Structure 1
């Protein structure tokens, strides 16, 4: 039932809430109780002066009766109920109009579930692939084993010479300190508390934090200024500077405004498509325009760089879903791939992706060629009309609930598959 046809349901709900009898309201607005009964059961339309009179008697705005629940609330309920029978889904407007309070509760629960699913995905990714976590756990367990071994010697029935006893006690004290420090650092790392986290970041995480704080756009580099940096940040800045020289900001932005086709832009500026994809992801954000995401990997499948975009989660460690065009491009180096994809989940927005793989390092005809794949991720509300359908993809197999996927590498930890 259309939302505009539910005015009667809202009038009945508001009248019941105020404790007013049907006959009393009908008398005040100058209609018969039988006619009001038809209106309240959505069998007669209402508008104009009669709607204004009823709104006045019920002490509400007329728009609250004619429009009811906001479109965003109804849309959220549709997302929450996307797996139920279509006949039930068609009644979501009626439900929102009759019970706006319960509808708000369901919408809030749906949003919380989505946030919790994202948290589970992030923690699972970190617990599964984080090299620091693996090393720290190994250190803690090794130290605990050493303490137990030393303690068993001291607590044994055999006599220990004073010199050796003092040595064992010193070892026990040092191991206990190591255990306390290692456990404390591990807890701080997992909790994300204090200043410890900043000293425990991997080089890739440091680079991503550096860029995220600057919105992935570096005006000082665009202006040709020298920026002091080390490690991964310095390497990224050198590449950013080369891309900015090849694709100057103002002319490139003007060209993008005419059309966002990476292959055409590459031909126009005489560069390779991968450079265009990276440059598109580094442009300054524009108000009202959704930002784009970028991800790169090498031939091993490990992600080298991530610029996340809302609705398209990217694992922080290890490899991602093998169905991503990012990996498909590795099968056809230097051949651009365009694909519309949609991740699993109830809210599942669609994205337009452009991907291309090409050699990054050439060591000669007889040497090893290092291949890098780049994928640009554009939200649907920026990409324009994407037509119907999309390639289903996931984040990583461990947290992907999609059943029957031929590319699955391991069983999902999510109990319910869709």
Structure 2
């Protein structure tokens, strides 16, 4: 299992770079110098509020200090190792690679993402060529027309003494079919050109949206002030396809509705008063619980706001939204760990689930989940459900009843997990 014991070392490194004394930094964030000393020597785990306070004083993003950012890179490297089973790699030394050569680790993960995206692109193009009804129809037209021209030409060659009247008819047929062939070919070329122009480097539109929202930590200041979602779209280069922009617009619309129902300053004050309890906030603002989840996850980072993550999925378990908290890497696609309360909630729609969970990095979170119907209700079909899970980092990381969870089975080292659905790539031997 990866060892994420480098957060304290990073804190010490950045403190020394800024010329701060340990006692001065400890006093500024409201802890004792002896406790900070234990943190810097990786002998105490660090809670969300303390981490955010340190990052604010040091003037650095919390993910740069936390093991969460490193864990995401470790997870990507493990996935890269699994994708090439013919090459043996030192899985037990991935932590050392990330710690000693972060640039190389980032380069490898970036290349792996690109290869994965290219593989999906090839698969997607193959599906299009196989199942695209427009392309199939146009190809049928081309082949039919070529066959007609060939048949007519064969008759002319095989019958040299054909009368002038019949020759004229056949020549006219060849001319008509040739024009039809040209039109069909041009139409097919235009369709292929349309597909190529709409192709993007992102594997899926959802991944493009995830990448865009990650750059803002899921807080969209423009929409807090009633900004135009269409204008906001142009600030995200990651949204490089019509499909990704459409998904982003849907998210922007939901975000704007949440912001209107729960104005930022009023919500932030209420969140502190309620100690970030989403059920209390849902009652205060008279909104559904999942709306309170989203609003909490969209709060701007500060030393007084805990580290908050959010995961949403559909009834099949596929992720629709993901904001990773420090200490728990979330997959970019597919489904996550089957032990997440997110999936428990799908089995009891409308009934909230709360549970303390512990990641492989031993970071603990209060996980709260709920499944809710989406779309209009109808007597003609059963309701469709989505589920949302809020993850709030715990300052006290010593809960003994915490449920052990992972990112996904593929990169989870827990061999005795009863919910495992596929072998882990971390198994040695």
1:75 is paired with a residue whose SS is coil
Structure 1 residue 270 and structure 2 residue 227: aligned? no
Counterpart among 369, 382, 392 of residue 378 in structure 1: 392
Counterparts of 1:348-367 in structure 2, within 5 Å, are 348-367=362-381
Structure 2 vs 1, CA of residues 264 and 275 (structure 1 numbering), >3 Å: closer, same or farther? same
Counterpart among 29, 42, 59 of residue 75 in structure 1: 42
2:316 is paired with a residue whose SS is coil
1:120 alignment partner in structure 2 = 77
Structure 2 vs 1, CA of residues 287 and 122 (structure 1 numbering), >3 Å: closer, same or farther? farther
Counterpart among 304, 313, 326 of residue 329 in structure 2: 313
Matches of 1:415 and 1:373 in 2, distance apart? 32
Counterpart among 112, 115, 119 of residue 133 in structure 1: 119
1:216 is paired with a residue whose SS is coil
- TM-score scaled to structure 1, two decimals? 0.55
Pairwise CA distance, 1:343? 1.7
2:345 alignment partner in structure 1 = 329
Matches of 1:216 and 1:333 in 2, distance apart? 26
Matches of 1:224 and 1:378 in 2, distance apart? 28
Structure 1: runs of 5+ lacking an equivalent: 1-66, 80-109, 144-196
Matches of 1:284 and 1:111 in 2, distance apart? 18
CA offsets 1:125-160 (integer angstroms, 9 cap, x no match):
978x957524426879xx9xxxxxxxxxxxxxxxxx
Matches of 1:218 and 1:111 in 2, distance apart? 22
Pairwise CA distance, 1:362? 2.5
Structure 1 residue 210 and structure 2 residue 217: aligned? no
Matches of 2:386 and 2:305 in 1, distance apart? 29
Aligned residues of 2:78 and 2:426 also touching (Cα < 8 A): no
Structure 1 residue 399 and structure 2 residue 411: aligned? yes
Higher relative contact order (Cα pairs below 8 Å, separated by 6+ residues): 2
Matches of 2:204 and 2:221 in 1, distance apart? 25
1:190 alignment partner in structure 2 = none
Calculate the aligned-residue CA RMSD, in Å. 3.6
Tell me the number of residue pairs that the alignment of Structure 1 and Structure 2 aligns.
262
Structure 2 vs 1, CA of residues 398 and 262 (structure 1 numbering), >3 Å: closer, same or farther? same
CA offsets 1:109-140 (integer angstroms, 9 cap, x no match):
x999968633324535978x957524426879
Structure 2 vs 1, CA of residues 303 and 257 (structure 1 numbering), >3 Å: closer, same or farther? same
1:266 is paired with a residue whose SS is helix
Pairwise CA distance, 1:292? 0.8
Structure 2 vs 1, CA of residues 303 and 121 (structure 1 numbering), >3 Å: closer, same or farther? farther
| Larger CA Rg, structure 1 vs 2 | 1
Matches of 1:138 and 1:379 in 2, distance apart? 38
Matches of 1:301 and 1:367 in 2, distance apart? 20
Matches of 2:314 and 2:282 in 1, distance apart? 22
2:342 is paired with a residue whose SS is helix
Matches of 1:387 and 1:368 in 2, distance apart? 39
Matches of 2:38 and 2:399 in 1, distance apart? 23
Aligned residues of 2:330 and 2:407 also touching (Cα < 8 A): yes
Structure 2 vs 1, CA of residues 393 and 411 (structure 1 numbering), >3 Å: closer, same or farther? same
CA offsets 1:321-362 (integer angstroms, 9 cap, x no match):
110000000011111111110122xx3211111111100113
2:229 is paired with a residue whose SS is coil
1:159 alignment partner in structure 2 = none
CA offsets 1:66-109 (integer angstroms, 9 cap, x no match):
x9x95245435x89xxxxxxxxxxxxxxxxxxxxxxxxxxxxxx
Aligned residues of 2:307 and 2:325 also touching (Cα < 8 A): yes
- TM-score scaled to structure 2, two decimals? 0.54
Matches of 1:122 and 1:261 in 2, distance apart? 35
2:225 alignment partner in structure 1 = 223
2:282 is paired with a residue whose SS is helix
Structure 2: runs of 5+ lacking an equivalent: 1-33, 46-66, 84-111, 130-198, 234-244
Matches of 1:131 and 1:201 in 2, distance apart? 4
Matches of 2:287 and 2:125 in 1, distance apart? 48
Pairwise CA distance, 1:289? 4.1
